[in-house]
Amino acid sequence: MGQMFADNPVVAHTGARYPIIQAPMTWIARAQLTAAVSAAGGIGVMETSSVDLEVTSREFEAIREVTDKPFGVNLAIMFLRQNEEMERAIIDWLIEHQVRFVTTSAGNPRRHVDQLKEAGVVVYHAVPTLDAALKAEDAGVDGLIVEGAESAGIRNAEEVNSFVLLQAVRERVSLPIVAAGGIADGRGMAAAMALGADGVAMGTRFVASKESPVHPNYKNAIVEAGVDGTILLPRPPRAKYRTLKTPAALEVQENPDNPPRLSNAIDALYIGGDVENTTGTAGQSAALVHEIKPVSAIIEETVSGFWREIDRLAAMRT
Ligand SMILES: Cc1cc2nc3c(=O)[nH]c(=O)nc-3n(C[C@H](O)[C@H](O)[C@H](O)COP(=O)(O)O)c2cc1C
């Protein structure tokens, strides 16, 4: 299986066996999950926005203790811009620790891309629109993570879904594309590749994995969610936010001008398992997640399902 993605630009850039990325997720994408994804042949991406550099360093070393396989680090640009000292420190730290693959999100990558690339770091930037994709290409990034409106978390208010967004970006941009949003298995991966992607990123699928550190109630809420199990809530001033349709999320939807104050999701849901009184980040892909599984099974089944779909389509020629 190892050679099967040999000509793939995401595999070439990351050094992983498969072009399957575990999306960065606040608090969740730390050593336990990220190491498991990389050890299984995918590309774990560690988040850095919910902790200080000391914790980031500890998590980084913990991943290195578990696996010698490649993994990436995410920089949330908007978050870093609020703290210039942290911004400088983390860029220096990335370079010093010879991190080879960085994803940037939530902001303009131009600010960091030259310095990182000069140090030999491959930079992929997450974009929710065609316009942002063109700007990122212009800034000199090595690849794009194209996030459709199906995706979990903070979304663009324009709500363009992956089916059109991937094709629109592919028409105009020649950089490697990683598709994010709406993908939880090999069928979704094959579809994304047909629409122009070179790899996929999954977030929600990995939240409901054995190695994900969140409370079982959150994982089970993802497993139980149907195709209408998530909603997009307003996230002032301009964005939206995709979350599980919890009672608290519905209350926010019904009272957009005077939303209720919700419990902090990390404390209440991730740690406490309360799925009633807060929102819980999840994508529409939750409808395709039917079981909590070990990360290795998720990766293996995604790869085998991908080739099954490719064979099914190729058989149309015979
Ligand atoms: C629980 C959770 C937390 C997330 N947190 C972040 C984050 O901190 N930064 C970020 O860029 N994206 C974040 N995302 C979005 C993912 O990076 C990715 O775009 C998304 O999960 C793809 O859609 P999917 O969940 O349907 O696979 C988060 C997603 C989830 C499920």
pLDDT value of residue 2: 47
Same domain, 116 and 246: no
Q: Are strands 153-155 and 199-202 parallel, antiparallel or unpaired?
A: unpaired
Q: Hey, what amino acid is at 149?
A: A
Separation CA 33–CA 299 (nearest Å) = 13
Whether 48 lines ligand 1, by a CB cut-off of 6 Å, is no
How many Å separate Cα 212 from the centre of its chain? 14
Q: Whose CA is nearest to atom 11 of ligand 1?
A: 105
Q: What is the mean pLDDT of the chain?
A: 94
Alpha-helical (H) ranges within the chain are 9-14, 31-39, 53-66, 77-81, 84-96, 110-118, 130-139, 162-172, 186-194, 204-207, 216-224, 247-254, 265, 295-314
Cis omega (within 30 of 0) for bond into 237: yes
Tokens found for residue 271: 């740690």
**Tally of domains within the chain:** 2
Whether 151 lines ligand 1, by a CB cut-off of 6 Å, is yes
> Please, are residues 33 and 22 in contact by the beta-carbon 8 Å criterion?
yes
Same domain, 67 and 119: yes
Residue 292 within any structural domain of the chain: no
pLDDT digits (tens, 9 = 90+) for 103-116: 999 888 888 899 99
Whether 45 lines ligand 1, by a CB cut-off of 6 Å, is no
Report which DSSP code applies to 252: H
Atom of ligand 1 nearest to the CA of 49: 8
Q: Whose CA is nearest to atom 21 of ligand 1?
A: 203
Can you give the pLDDT of all 318 residues of the chain as single tens digits?
Answer: 445 898 999 999 999 999 999 999 999 999 999 999 999 999 999 999 877 888 889 999 999 999 999 999 999 888 777 778 888 889 999 999 989 999 999 888 888 899 999 999 999 999 999 999 999 999 999 999 999 999 999 888 888 999 999 999 999 999 999 999 999 999 999 999 999 999 999 999 999 999 999 999 999 999 999 999 999 998 888 889 999 999 999 999 999 888 888 889 999 999 999 999 999 999 999 999 999 999 999 999 999 999 999 999 999 997
Q: Cα separations (Å) of 312 from 7, 33, 183, 186?
A: 21, 32, 19, 12
Residue 165 within any structural domain of the chain: yes
pLDDT digits (tens, 9 = 90+) for 180-212: 999 999 999 999 999 999 999 999 999 999 999
Whether 283 lines ligand 1, by a CB cut-off of 6 Å, is yes
Distance 29 CA to ligand 1 centre (A): 10
The beta-carbon contacts of 16-20 under 8 Å, at least 24 apart in sequence, are: 16/41, 16/42, 16/43, 16/69, 16/70, 17/41, 17/42, 18/42, 18/299, 18/302, 18/303, 19/43, 19/178, 19/198, 19/199, 19/200, 20/189, 20/199, 20/200, 20/201, 20/202, 20/299, 20/302, 20/303
Q: Hey, what amino acid is at 63?
A: I
Domain, as residue range, for 268: 216-284
Same domain, 245 and 308: no
> For a substitution probing ligand 1, which of 20, 21, 22, 25 has the most ligand atoms within 8 Å of its CB?
25
75 pairs with which residues across the strands?
A: 104
Same domain, 91 and 140: yes
> For a substitution probing ligand 1, which of 151, 155, 166, 278 has the most ligand atoms within 8 Å of its CB?
151
> For a substitution probing ligand 1, which of 21, 22, 26 has the most ligand atoms within 8 Å of its CB?
26
pLDDT value of residue 78: 81
Same domain, 230 and 269: yes
Same domain, 202 and 305: yes
Residue 156 within any structural domain of the chain: yes
DSSP letters along 190-246, please? HHHHHTT-SEEEESHHHHTBTT--S-HHHHHHHHH--TT-EEEEEETTTEEEEEE--
Residue 39 within any structural domain of the chain: yes
Residue 164 within any structural domain of the chain: yes
Same domain, 150 and 279: no
Q: What is the CATH number of the domain that holds 306?
A: 3.20.20.70
pLDDT value of residue 79: 77
pLDDT value of residue 284: 98
Distance 99 CA to ligand 1 centre (A): 21
Same domain, 128 and 143: yes
Same domain, 239 and 309: no
Residue 278 within any structural domain of the chain: yes
Distance 77 CA to ligand 1 centre (A): 15
Residue 142 within any structural domain of the chain: yes
Question: What is the radius of gyration, based on Cα positions, of the chain?
Answer: 18
Whether 180 lines ligand 1, by a CB cut-off of 6 Å, is yes
Distance 315 CA to ligand 1 centre (A): 35
Among residues 214, 287, 221, 275, the alpha carbon closest in space to that of 248 is found at 275
Tokens found for residue 68: 């010698």
Q: What's the distance, Cα to Cα, between the start and end of the chain in Å?
A: 24
Q: Are strands 230-235 and 239-244 parallel, antiparallel or unpaired?
A: antiparallel
Whether 162 lines ligand 1, by a CB cut-off of 6 Å, is no
Whether 153 lines ligand 1, by a CB cut-off of 6 Å, is yes
Same domain, 153 and 261: no
Distance 152 CA to ligand 1 centre (A): 5
pLDDT value of residue 223: 98
Whether 285 lines ligand 1, by a CB cut-off of 6 Å, is yes
> Please, are residues 185 and 305 in contact by the beta-carbon 8 Å criterion?
yes
Same domain, 49 and 156: yes
Three-state SS at 148? coil
pLDDT value of residue 235: 86
Same domain, 228 and 205: no
